[in-house]
A and B are shown apart, each in its own frame.
Chain A
Amino acid sequence: MHADEERKLDGLLSRRRLLQLSAAGFGASLLSGLLAACGGDDDDDDDDTDSGDSGTGDDATEVSGGSDDAGGDSGDAGDPKAGGTLVWGMGGDADALDPHTTNAWAAWRQSTMMYESLVRKDLLTDEIPVPVVPQLAESWEVSDDGRTWSFALRQGVTFHDGTDFNADAVMANYERMSVEDSPYYYASAWHGRFAFQYAEAVEAPDEFTWRITHDQPVGEFLSTMGDYYWFGIASPTQIEEVGTENLASSPSGTGPFRFVERVEGQRTEFERNEDYWGEKAYLDRLIVRPILEDQARVVALQTGEIDLMSDPPPDVIESLVNDGYAMSQGLTPQVAFYRFQFRNEYGGNQLVRQAVQWAIDREAIARDLFRDTVIPAYGLLSPGAPAYDPEWAPYSYDPDRARELLAEAGYPDGFSTKLLAAPTASGWPQAGAVAQFIKDNLADVGIDLELELTEWVTYLGIEFRERTDALLWGTAWGMPTNFFLNIQAESRYRSEADPGDQGYTNVENPNEALDELLIAGSQATDPAEANDLYRQANELMCVEDAAFLSLNHDKLPHLMRPEVKGFFHSVNVNYDMSKVWLDE
């Protein structure tokens, strides 16, 4: 099974590479989006449906099952049937069912069912870069200078509470995040402040047009708007009625599922939105259950208490697949990486950082520790980001080379230092085992690492001065946008006062060459040019300066009963659950 999967993945990577070379990145998808949008309402729906039907992921999303028809996507099991209740067990609980404030995967996945944004990254394709497709906006235009984005909004859409969707609704949601004196404003709705940071003027010139003008070109704007549903549009009437702070307990969007109830710690229930403007969901009901304990979640799948399971422990996957359960996994915009501490004597040495890169056996981590539920990573651009290049592998496992570099750096006999990691981090439960693996790898080249493993929030709060003792500290996340690199390493987002500052580049002491690439990349209006700039930045950050030690990209496996069909693994962390159906 392992070799087969490997081949499958190889096939898909080269196909992706081809796609990337031929599609000229982002441009083609933007253009196709525009063309589709120009065709009017009906065409849009067709376009959406098409991607749903054709995006079966036959060769990109890996699907395994005990029998031929036990697949994890809609392409291999006859015609979809409507009806039934699906129970989805997740390893974490949603913090708040409010797309503007949440910070948890579990909540994003649930928001996606209820809320829609103006545009979204296509959840029904494995194409990279992921195309942006229309949602509550039917089409969009960008001015020649790349500063003004205009969205033509879909007409005839109603929110779950019956309110009509229009430009005022979009404005209310914008104000909730960004306009402090608006009655809709909510300080915890922080996502938009980042995405709208360059906004100069935001207006609704007519009932179905929403326009935003930035003080500089923002090439990544559309891509950012399509990410994660952070700009899920909530009913303004609902916000007024329940109070802007209480939207989490009474969500109301326009999505294919509507909120029924949430019983804290037990379940959140959704039902099909019968008035949905697009293709209606197949499932009658969808119930999400948080089951924090890994073993209990596995047993619950086996006893039929849940139908679909997120976050399976890698060790159980093979045996469950052999028992007939279906598994779906694929590339995801996530990267597990460590930062080097530049104020540490060793971390401040470029040769030492490069040596560490060669000393780590990334392939073995993916194969032995994660059972091929991840792929090796070398930079911070993750799958889903337009500039991500799956062929790019600047390092291999070469301990001899590492020893040479260490000797050149003046440490022929190695040295002792610390590594910090948080094994309880959500989305990276294996962090402790990874840290141990790195310790073993580095011991082979003479570096003695003392592991300091703490609980996640403690880890986040560990004082900066303590971090200077450590060579490396790790985290795992990512975004399907190139702008992730700016967030990680553009100097103006970093400060010496920030506990996450590694001393590599910050506002007090910027790395000017890197800033130049990142800023130019974010402003470039030609996607191919932007991708090229970001790839150069990635190379500078992760190879030449070797400031980050990237390890792997998660494939976010999901296990499900064989009767669950139509679950499509998007190049994202959330999925289009309206296409899921039950074959029973």
Chain B
Amino acid sequence: MVRYVIRRLIATVGVLWGVSILIFAILQFTPGDAARAQLPSSAPEEEVQRLRESLGLDEPIPVQYSIWLQNVLQGDFGRSYQHRISAFGIVKDRFPNTMILATSALVVSVVVGLVIGVVAGTRPNTLTDRAAILTGIVGASLPSFWVGIMLLIIFSLKLGWFPAVGMYDVRGDGGLVDLAHHLVLPTITAAAVPAAVIARQVRSSVLEIMNLDYIRTARSKGLRETTVVVRHALRNALPTFITIVALQAGYLLGGSLITEVVFSWPGMGQQLYTSVGARDIPVIMTITLLVALIFTSLNLLADLLQAVLDPRVRLT
């Protein structure tokens, strides 16, 4: 197990390295020039060239990459071209905000997904099941952008229940209640797709398990249906569930980009959106590396949990 973890951790370093090369390359091949992006469209070429030199963008691309890599290995993620402050500092400030939204959306999507999935999976082909399937399809297909705007118009503008933008009331002193109030609409928007995906997955595993022999045995022993579902069916559906939840968590932590932009939620997704628009390479690289790190770590965690829950899985 320990050797397995060490091997996976080494692999993670490899993945991060690969991701950094890939993103760096994509940024180089995308039309657009970071220096030109910082100046007005008619700035003379001479001025652009001067800025390019000061940012080190006049070096050959492999040299630029190796300078970047050396700096990162020493803990220096560079300075944002756009904001002229530390790129790591920007991401560090944004990360907790994304964590708050992602955690809240994950909790909501797990609870909703689990309830819908179990209810539907234990009552196959009933009206409830069909309604659940339909909700799942709709939830997974509606674009977050549209859902966000609709929630804004209905719950913020028409009903006045929730604020429209940001994390805190800027006139107030902040606080947890204020944060929770601001969190509701973005959470629903960000949770819609993961909840639908989880519900669908849970439904199909529950449906499959409920037809297995050991469930019939459990029922024939005279166990109550709740016990059958919770203690026997769900326990066996857990491994698949954990994998799918880990994937959704990665997706949410990667910054629910659209949700953050719609609700002016100051997280990494919103930052990535503006940084890509400005070709702010240091910030884009820092965010993508962090997201890749989170994603691989969550996958590793899911695999370890699998082994704990299912003795048949061996990690070697």
Contact = CB atoms under 8 A, between A and B. Distances in A.
B166 A305 contact: yes
Contact of A95 (B79, B82, B169): B82
A296 B39 contact: no
Nearest to B47: A190
A96 B83 contact: yes
B165 A245 contact: no
Contacts of A193: 47
A493 interface: yes
Given A266-B166, A305-B165, A246 B32 contact: no
B278 A296 contact: no
Contacts of B220: none
B84 A287 contact: no
Given A187-B54, A188-B84, A292-B264, A265 B270 contact: yes
Interface of B is mostly: loop
Contacts of B51: 187-188, 190
B152 interface: yes
B42 A500 contact: yes
A497 B261 CA distance: 37
Contacts of A488: 42
B263 A460 contact: no
A296 B279 contact: no
Interface in B35-89: 36-45, 47, 50-51, 53-54, 79, 82-85
A437 interface: no
B263 to A, nearest CB: 7
Given A103-B38, A460-B32, A299 B164 contact: yes
A21 interface: no
Interface stretch (A8-16, A54-62, A451-459): A451-459
Interface string A462-480: 1100000000000101000
B266 interface: yes
B3 interface: no
A12 B53 CA distance: 48
Interface in B152-181: 152-153, 156-157, 160, 163-171
Interface in A491-532: 493-495, 497-500
Contact of A487 (B42, B84, B153): B42
Nearest to B48: A498
A350 interface: no
Interface in B135-164: 149, 152-153, 156-157, 160, 163-164
Contacts of A103: 38-40
A295 interface: yes
Contacts of B208: none
A295 B279 CA distance: 25
Contact of B277 (A289, A291, A456): A456
A24 interface: no
A340 B152 CA distance: 43
Contact of B157 (A292, A302, A499): A302
A265 B149 CA distance: 20
A561 to B, nearest CB: 13
A202 interface: no
B31 interface: yes
A584 to B, nearest CB: 13
B133 interface: no
Given A296-B165, A303-B157, A497 B45 contact: yes
Nearest to B274: A93
A116 interface: no
A34 to B, nearest CB: 31
Nearest to A492: B44
B164 A457 contact: no
B45 A291 contact: no
A580 to B, nearest CB: 16
Interface residues of B, number: 55
Contacts of A266: 166-168, 170, 264, 266
Contacts of A296: 149, 152, 164-165, 262-264
Nearest to A299: B164
A199 interface: no
Interface string A362-376: 000000000000000
A493 B40 CA distance: 13
B271 interface: yes
B94 A264 contact: yes
B139 to A, nearest CB: 21
B39 A190 contact: yes
Contacts of A267: 166, 170
A49 interface: no
Given A193-B47, A263-B93, A488-B42, A293 B278 contact: no
Interface in A371-400: none
A407 interface: no
A249 interface: yes
A338 B1 CA distance: 65
Nearest to A476: B41
A290 interface: yes
B279 to A, nearest CB: 5
B147 to A, nearest CB: 13
A291 B261 CA distance: 8
Contact of B85 (A246, A497, A500): A246
B152 to A, nearest CB: 5
A264 B260 CA distance: 14
A241 to B, nearest CB: 16
Nearest to A288: B170
Contacts of A89: 165
A299 B155 CA distance: 11
Nearest to A493: B44
Contact of A495 (B36, B43, B45, B157): B45
A245 B79 contact: yes
B90 interface: yes
B144 to A, nearest CB: 12
Contacts of A417: none
A289 B40 contact: no
A248 interface: yes
Given A299-B164, A499-B36, 7 more contacts: A188-B38, A266-B266, A267-B166, A295-B149, A296-B262, A494-B44, A495-B44
Interface of A: 85, 87, 89, 93, 95-96, 98, 101, 103, 187-188, 190, 193-194, 245-246, 248-249, 263-267, 269, 287, 289-293, 295-297, 299-300, 302-303, 305-306, 424, 454-463, 475, 477, 487-488, 493-495, 497-500
27 contacts: A193-B47, A245-B79, A263-B266, A264-B93, A265-B94, A265-B264, A266-B166, A287-B171, A289-B166, A291-B166, A292-B270, A295-B149, A296-B264, A299-B152, A299-B153, A303-B156, A303-B163, A303-B164, A456-B277, A457-B36, A457-B279, A460-B33, A461-B32, A462-B31, A463-B31, A477-B41, A497-B45
Interface of B: 30-33, 36-45, 47, 50-51, 53-54, 79, 82-85, 90, 93-94, 149, 152-153, 156-157, 160, 163-171, 261-264, 266-267, 270-271, 273-274, 277-279
